[in-house]
Chain A
Amino acid sequence: MGSAYACLDVRMTRDLAVHAEGLVRTFGDVRALDGIDLTVERGQVVGLLGPNGAGKTTTVRILSTLLAPTEGRATVAGFDVVKQADEVRRSIGLTGQYAAIDEYLTGRENLRMFGGLYHLSPKYVKERSEELLDWFDLSDAADRPAKTYSGGMRRRLDLAASLVAQPSILFLDEPTTGLDPRSRLGLWDVINNLVAQGTTVLLTTQYLEEADQLAQDIVVIDHGRVIAHGTSEQLKDQIGGDRIEITVSDASRIDDAVRAVRSVSAGEPLVEESRVSAPVSGGSTVLVNAIRALDADGIEVSDLVLRRPTLDDVFMSLTGHAAEDETTAAKPAKGRRGRGSK
């Protein structure tokens, strides 16, 4: 019996791109990860969302074999990250939070070097490098030392380097942090393209907008724990779904407006001067009904919107603090400290 279950377990984890159970990692007395469970199916894009210090990089480093977990276990492409590190390394591409390319080598030399270290045939590496340089729009800069590249170009070269061996699973640790908006959009394009071609992606981000844009599934982590998990729609529903917001032109008619809103809302309306808001369910039909009710009473409105909660609202309601790093950096939690030197 037991062995049959074990067999099933192995088959299941093999079909999953990433499977982590109860990952714990401590650094001295800092508990960077405090029991992370994570599953990524093949072909899926999962966003690991959390503020600075949440444990995103630590998670990625464990999954990419750079760091051993203190407790728990994880498989990537069906291989154990501790016991089968070499097999894992052959299946993944990693683009870390900080560019990991050689500054003195040209773009082309960088790709050829990494291709060699993946033990790919020289002929293949040569062709693949040209293809990637072209794809990442780096052909013109291919013979310049990477030192002369802009931030956006370095990230692209970094990403290209992790694609030399056509990995089926890609880890991207804060791929767009520090980039200007244009480069960020460009990189989003690249990532979406890779995903369309079947690559599994686990990416981390501090940007709610980025998780929303790129990932189907979002795992929210804070203080080394998963605090929420789901599609961005599910996460938004979790904090109460949509709200209708109405501003009346004539503030003296606010009580009539509240009555009209109550007739369509799913909960008690909130009044703020000439504005009424209330939770609703049922999407845009609610808007039509609200307009009818207001119109029947002859109430004039200056503004009427259906507001969908943003991931910012999700984060705020889950953690009690915003997801921007400034806020958390200014108030470090007890027992946490900065990253030690290597």
Chain B
Amino acid sequence: MATLTMGKPQMMRRPLLGWTIHDGLVVARRNLIQTVRIPEMLFFSLVQPVIFVLLFAYVFGGAIPIPGDAGADAYRNYLMPGIFGQTVAFAAAASTVGLAEDMHKGIIDRFRALPMSPPAVLVGRTLADAVRQILVLFVLSITGFIVGWRISNGLLPAIGAYALLLLFAYTVAWIGSWVGLHMPNPETANTAGLAWLFPLTFLSNAFVPISSMPTWLQAFAAYNPVSTVVLASRELFGNPTGIQPDYWPLQHASLYTLISCAVLIAIFATLAVRKYTRTTSR
């Protein structure tokens, strides 16, 4: 057997802002490669929302009236941003399950025995899960276009809408990561770990106007960031919004979304990093 002959290892220069971003990108790359290697995962994360579009557009669509607007086309235009919002909210699921799986495998031990920045495991996870949503949004937009959805407010606002949706995906990825760190095993993560996403997305304006809800629910739905990211998207895409009840977040949907995302990231990134360091330094 030959000897290993390479000279001394050459180190990288320390980045200005420390190693967290560099290491986070290395981990994100790893997580994105996984996506390509597990095509069934990507397939299902795309197929489910596409089926939703078809179901709502052709089956339920006619039965849900949009106040201030009429016709099946109106509902389809109203619907698409709702599907976008619901779908990116489920980006959290990938973070929860992915992290629960990682924590269960020996690879976390290897990461921890490396001189890498510990939060990078979470930074990379959330980044990859948000980036994956770019593809998901692209496929959904094409499907929407086929069933009659249109962007009718110009290109720049539309880009703004996509950016808000991705920011929201990144936010829920942090919440999902925090949840994933509490899961005893990947199986639980796949069931109980995702339970909170259903009330969050359905108690919103994603599929039905808030004005059609009972009053006590309206308050919850109005402050639910899923509602505001969906409403902001509707406004920015130039789609029908329905008539909004009098709540501050609904009058300032984009601003409220930005603020709530910033606050939620700050809270859940802190909690998740703390939980991660604690769990892994028994």
Contacts and interface: CB of A to CB of B under 8 A. Distances in A.
A133 to B, nearest CB: 12
B56 interface: no
Given A100-B106, A131-B4, A105 B113 contact: no
Contacts of A124: 6, 9-10
A120 B109 contact: no
B109 A66 contact: yes
B191 interface: no
Nearest to A68: B281
Which of B1, B33, B114 has the largest number of chain A CB atoms within 10 A?
B114
Given A96-B110, A116-B26, A117-B26, A193 B1 contact: yes
Contacts of B103: 342
B19 A119 contact: yes
Report, as a range, how many residues of chain B touch the other chain.
35 or more
B10 A123 contact: yes
B112 A117 contact: no
Contacts of B38: 104
Given A104-B37, A109-B33, A342-B103, A166 B6 contact: yes
Contacts of A127: 6
A130 to B, nearest CB: 10
Contact of B112 (A66, A120, A162, A342): A66
A197 interface: yes
Contacts of B281: 67-68
A90 B22 CA distance: 17
A119 B11 CA distance: 6
Contacts of B107: 100-102
Given A193-B1, A342-B104, A166 B9 contact: yes
A214 interface: no
Report, as a range, how many residues of chain A touch the other chain.
35 or more
B113 A64 contact: yes
A201 B15 CA distance: 33
A190 B1 CA distance: 8
Nearest to B8: A166
A60 to B, nearest CB: 10
Given A100-B105, A197-B4, A117 B33 contact: no
A94 interface: yes
Interface string B80-108: 00000000000000000000000111110
Contacts of A100: 105-107, 109-110
Interface in A118-150: 118-124, 127-128, 131-132, 135, 145
A124 B282 CA distance: 34
Contacts of B10: 120-121, 123-124
Contacts of A189: 1
B156 interface: no
A265 interface: no
Contact of B114 (A89, A104, A135, A193): A89
A165 B8 CA distance: 9
A119 B115 contact: yes
Contact of B6 (A65, A122, A128): A128
Interface string A188-206: 0110010011000000000
Contacts of A99: 106
Interface in A38-65: 61, 64-65
Contacts of A209: none
A102 B30 contact: yes
A341 B106 contact: no
B34 A117 contact: no
A194 B130 CA distance: 42
B29 A92 contact: no
Contacts of A161: 110
B113 A117 contact: no
A68 B280 CA distance: 11
B16 interface: no
B73 interface: no
28 contacts: A66-B109, A68-B282, A90-B115, A94-B110, A96-B110, A98-B106, A99-B106, A100-B110, A101-B107, A101-B110, A102-B107, A104-B33, A104-B37, A104-B38, A116-B26, A117-B120, A119-B14, A120-B11, A122-B12, A123-B10, A124-B6, A128-B6, A131-B6, A162-B110, A165-B9, A193-B1, A197-B4, A341-B185
Given A105-B34, A120-B11, A124-B6, 9 more contacts: A68-B282, A89-B114, A89-B115, A100-B106, A100-B107, A117-B26, A117-B27, A117-B115, A117-B120
